[in-house]
Amino acid sequence: MDALELVKVNALEVAVRIWHPEAPRTVIAWHGLARHGGDFADFARELGPEWRILAPDTPGRGLSSWSSTPSCHYVYSHYMTIAAAVMDHFGLERVPWVGTSMGGLLGMLLAAEPASAARIERLVLNDVGPELAPEGLADLASYFGVPHRFLHFSELEAELRRHYTGFGIEGDDAWRRLALGSARRLPDGSWTYHFDPRIAEQFVHDTPRDTWADWAAIRCPLMVLRGRHSPLLKAESVSRMAEAQPDLVSHEVPGCGHAPMLDRRDQVAPIAAFLSESPAQATASRYENASTPWWRRLLWRRGHS
């Protein structure tokens, strides 16, 4: 990262990692359940120096505070408060949002909620949507809800390679960087992950919502990326998402499960194109796409001729 700002939100300190701090355009990038903002380093490089990337560490992760009351702080309603505070801190009335997994759901809720919808200029969901496979969610809750302890750093790295194989990470250097950014030393000299094990309590404390109703309520331009082998976001769910939001731009990422790391050009280029399009261009791209039914393309052309 190129800079770090610490934002106080009530009793917690939120670390916001920044790349290209002087860039003319800004995007917020929000990580998944047990990750942190540092995951977007390669994304920032690929997106280019014209974009300032703000990547917060959600409380309980990375450099941000841990909470003594997870039932209050490790829930989406509080994450929405934090997101608003981050936007206020940087003077952002309206901003594009790229969210991986949990970060995508957070962006979706912000874009659907009347009080915050106008602040999300456009939304990119990375391997997440309003319908998630129950078995995939259960795996996440069970894995991250218990403490992990490794005697040696090499054991932690080996476990990361096993558990995060769905990220599609390539090369020993990339895995080593992921391990360095994921490790925390314990008082007895052993190793564990950087996050608070209690973050998984959000599966218990969070209030259920009708996420399909949230999805239907969104009015900003939308894009979804899906790892081709994702255990969480099924291809049928993406089809249903497009039925509810016909202007949805979708992109499938080969060689990945949950969730694409957004660390290479072929993953970031479609996002860069989407972020740079005007709303009219985004709609045109959608309706001129060969995968769009012929009758829908015909109606769109007639309406714009």
> Residue 298's pLDDT is what?
59
Residue 184 resides in a domain: no
Residue 193 resides in a domain: no
Overall number of domains in the chain: 1
Residue 190 resides in a domain: no
Instruction: Give pLDDT < 50 ranges for the chain.
Output: 305
> Residue 145's pLDDT is what?
80
Residue 161 resides in a domain: no
Nearest-CA neighbor of 275 among 225, 227, 222?
222
> Residue 17's pLDDT is what?
98
Is pTM beyond 0.85? Reply is yes
In this structure, the strands spanning 191-193 and 183-185 are antiparallel
**Cβ-contact 197, 145 below 8 angstroms:** yes
> Residue 129's pLDDT is what?
97
Distance CA 227, CA 257 (A): 5
Residue 181 resides in a domain: no
DSSP 113: S
Residue 111 resides in a domain: yes
Q: At what angle do helices 153-163 and 172-180 cross, to 10 degrees?
A: 110
CA atoms within 13 A on the CB side of 113: 16
The CATH number of the domain holding residue 294 is 3.40.50.1820
> Residue 208's pLDDT is what?
84
CB atoms closer than 10 angstroms to residue 38: 21
Query: Is 53 in a helix, a strand, or coil?
Result: strand
In this structure, the strands spanning 222-227 and 249-253 are parallel
